[in-house]
């Protein structure tokens, strides 16, 4: 008898969930972006949100909640009702990196419902033109011949750029001094000015300097060449470091417990948006590679990325208070 009652309750809940999903959405949807306006995650989220409006029949309102490397906005989103009316423009910073380098007020694997990956973000290894290295192997040879003499910059301790450089240094068996900054702008500027030898940063952060000859681009961090800068080899191939493969990512998520029917619908609509040639072109202009996947695939992707960043953090002994 108890088993029958339990089964009836499960079927009733499933029916209620399906009925709720059929009427979704019936009022505006908030998209929490845990970064300031104009940042890559913000721009990508706005582009996708705008294209979803006619598909969903309701406005998607972007709510910027920057601070603490994306942690503030991610926490705010995790504490809302899982009814599909609050989404999070998640990214590698607050979801894959911060939980590995400091205590955060949420569990990245338990407190969110993955919807769809929307883009991956390859970074670029660049050097000041005065550095006598025209390719990755020459840079590695230079650093090995001069341990501790040269420095590399990042947008902050524990930031994506820091961990990518730390992994590169570790795999290449080189020693260099880390110079952290509060953001990528000053980090790149000091490489341009010659105060720092090299850095690994996003395509938008370095592209104008590379085009003007004020920085020399050597390679991209992803395992595949970047569509935005296809002329560049990968660090894996150019540096003979076959296991090197790191990139940032951006994706839509929601508070844990959102009805699966809603996440499936949103995921399908987002994937349709990402097939739009105009969206692809806009993404590539930002150095982003359009993606798109199902909720279960995105969940597995996040799990893999978190483990990947976790191993780099442990290897580089990075920890923030």
pLDDT tens string 101-128: 889 999 999 999 999 999 999 999 999 9
Task: Classify domain 28-121+247-316 at the CATH superfamily level.
Answer: Bordetella uptake gene, domain 1 (3.40.190.150)
Edge-first strand listing for the sheet containing 29-33: 60-64, 29-33, 86-91, 248-255, 112-121, 289-290
The pLDDT, as a whole number, for residue 205 is: 87
Q: What is the pTM of this model?
A: 0.82
Instruction: Produce one character per residue of 148-183: b if its CB has 16 or more CB atoms within 10 Å, e if not.
Output: eebbbbbbbebbbbbbbbbbbbebbebebebbebee
Residue 290 CA: distances (Å) to CA of 140, 142, 297:
31, 36, 15
Does the pLDDT at position 274 exceed 90?
yes
Q: 28-121+247-316 and 123-238: same fold?
A: yes
Distance between CA atoms of residues 297 and 271, nearest Å: 13
Distance between CA atoms of residues 93 and 270, nearest Å: 21
CATH number of 123-238, picked from 3.40.190.10, 3.40.720.10, 1.10.8.60, 3.20.10.10: 3.40.190.10
pLDDT tens string 277-302: 999 999 998 889 999 999 999 999 99
Q: Where in the chain are the domains?
A: 28-121+247-316, 123-238
Closest to 229 in 3D by CA, of 249, 207, 212? 207
Q: Which of 80-84, 218-222, 223-227 has the lowest mean pLDDT?
A: 223-227
**Reported confidence tier of residue 157, pLDDT bands at 50, 70, 90:** confident
Q: 203 CB contacts (<8 Å, ≥6 apart)?
A: 122, 123, 124, 226, 228, 229, 286, 287
DSSP string, 50-100: HHHHHHHTS-EEEEE---GGGHHHHHHHHTS-SSSSEEEEEEHIIIIIHHH
Distance between CA atoms of residues 163 and 181, nearest Å: 14
Closest to 218 in 3D by CA, of 281, 270, 142, 312? 142
């Amino acid at each position: 008898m108890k088993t029958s009652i339990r089964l009836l309750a499960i079927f009733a809940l499933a029916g209620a969930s399906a009925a709720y999903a059929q009427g979704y959405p019936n009022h505006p949807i908030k998209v929490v972006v845990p970064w300031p306006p104009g940042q890559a995650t913000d721009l990508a989220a706005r582009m996708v949100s705008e294209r979803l409006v006619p598909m969903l029949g309701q406005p998607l309102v972007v709510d910027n909640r920057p601070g603490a490397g994306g942690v503030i906005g991610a926490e705010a989103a995790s504490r809302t009702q899982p009814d599909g009316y609050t989404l999070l423009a998640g990214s590698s910073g607050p979801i894959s990196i911060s939980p590995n380098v400091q205590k955060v007020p949420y569990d990245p694997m338990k407190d969110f419902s993955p919807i769809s990956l929307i883009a991956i973000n390859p970074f670029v290894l660049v050097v000041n033109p005065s550095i006598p290295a025209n390719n990755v192997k020459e840079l590695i040879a230079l650093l090995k011949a001069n341990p501790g003499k040269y420095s590399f910059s990042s947008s902050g301790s524990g930031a994506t750029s820091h961990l990518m450089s730390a992994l590169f240094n570790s795999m290449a068996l080189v020693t260099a001094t880390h110079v952290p900054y509060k953001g990528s702008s000053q980090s790149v500027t000091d490489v341009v000015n010659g105060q720092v030898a090299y850095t690994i940063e996003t395509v938008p952060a370095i592209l104008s300097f590379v085009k003007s000859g004020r920085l020399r681009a050597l390679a991209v961090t992803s395992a595949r060449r970047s569509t935005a800068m296809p002329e560049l080899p990968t660090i894996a191939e150019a540096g003979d470091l076959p296991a090197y493969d790191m990139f940032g990512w951006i994706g839509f998520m929601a508070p844990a417990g959102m009805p699966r029917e809603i996440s499936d619908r949103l995921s399908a609509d987002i994937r349709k948006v990402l097939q739009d040639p105009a969206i692809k072109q806009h993404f590539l202009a930002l150095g982003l590679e359009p993606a798109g996947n199902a909720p279960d695939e995105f969940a597995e992707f996040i799990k893999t990325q978190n483990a990947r960043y976790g191993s780099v953090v442990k290897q580089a002994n990075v920890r923030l208070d």
